Structure 1
Amino acid sequence: MNIDISKEDFELAPGESVLIHTNEFIKVPNTLSACIYERYSVKSLGLMISPAHYMNPGYKGNIGLLAVNHSTVPIKLIPGIKICQLALFELTSEPLRPYEKQGGKYMDAKSASISKLHLDAEIQEFLKSKGVQKASDDMAKELGEYLMGHIRASAKRLADILRAEEESQKNG
């Protein structure tokens, strides 16, 4: 599901997470690397933005981030509100292979996306050894959604069991 928060409000429920992306298109020169960190004032509200997001020298694109609500109340995500800060790190020398020459999976990203871990050479090699010639982004997304559905169902069952045990201890 894609939600454009400039057109409709979006509240992140307690314990919920969502992939978001920056409004800014970032271009990191080959002489620098960069990280994005959440602002302390945002963290103190219970909103965590991917503990740190590293950008290779030469990376360019909108940055996809994972936002997690660790508070006990919903948090409204509002466009234009500053939730992160960019830290730049000067390199002592230029990289031998800048990001654009590494076949960067996220280069020129325009929005947050599912993990592209399945495109790593060692993962592709493993999949080939199991008879899968190439895992597409669609296949990875479908697998991720399937697994997350099972994780959510298991978490709900566990929460129901814990609530029932707590209730029986109160009444027992």
Structure 2
Amino acid sequence: MGEGFTLHPGELVLAASHEYVRIPSDLTAQVVARSSYGRLGLLVATAVQVQPGYTGCVTLQLVNLGQLPITLTPGERIGQLVFTKLSTPVETAHLKYSLAVWPEFSRVSEDSDIKRLRRAPTARRK
């Protein structure tokens, strides 16, 4: 699958799941780290929710919270998806990160509330 890489203490990297997934409109999923890696200090996801209707590889935020470097190899099972059945399917709108095959960098600047807040007048401090 490829050479490993070393994640040093305090570092954050974006990675993508090996699997390409399609989440139906009546399910949601959470990314959960495997316990063995958590014991090394590896945090597998800082944004753990996979929305209903999402299609693509899941972008993972990998953080080494431990004291020692962690060597990871592509394809290694570091986490899992835990699915929750929704009582009512949701209407899946355009998902900002859908159809990803590589790690996706933040698109927070595309959020409509951010754009609206940046256009709003600000109160002056005295």
TM over 0.5: yes
The Cα of 1:125 is off from its aligned counterpart by 2.2
Provide the aligned C-alpha RMSD in A: 1.7
TM-score with structure 2 setting the length: 0.86
Looking at structure 1, the residues matched to 51 and 23 of structure 2 have their Cα atoms a distance apart, in angstroms, of 7
1:126 aligned to which of 109, 117, 122: 117
Greater radius of gyration (CA): 1
Per-residue deviation, 1:9? 3.1
1:107-165 Cα shifts (integer Å, max 9, x gaps): 111111221111111112234458xxxxxxxxxxxxxxxxxxxxxxxxxxxxxxxxxxx
Q: Which residue of 2 aligns with 1:48?
A: 43
Structure 2 residue identity aligned to 1:111? W
What is the match of residue 30 of structure 1?
25
Matched with 1:114 is 105
Q: Matched residue pairs, number?
A: 121
Q: Alignment identity in percent? A: 33
Instruction: Provide structure 1 residue ranges, at least 5 long, that are not aligned to the other structure.
Output: 1-5, 131-172
| Larger relative contact order, structure 1 or 2 (CA cutoff 8 Å, min sep 6) | 2
Alignment of 1:1-172 (within 5 A): 6-51=1-46, 53-95=48-90, 97-98=91-92, 101=93, 103-129=94-120
Gaps (5+ residues) in structure 2?
A: 122-126
2:28 partner letter: S
Contact 2:44 2:63 in 1 (8 A): yes
CA distance, structure 2, for counterparts of residue 94 and residue 127 of structure 1: 33
TM-score computed with the length of structure 1 as normaliser? 0.65
Partner deviation per Cα, 1:36-71 (whole Å, 9 max, x = no partner)? 110111100111112451111111111111111112
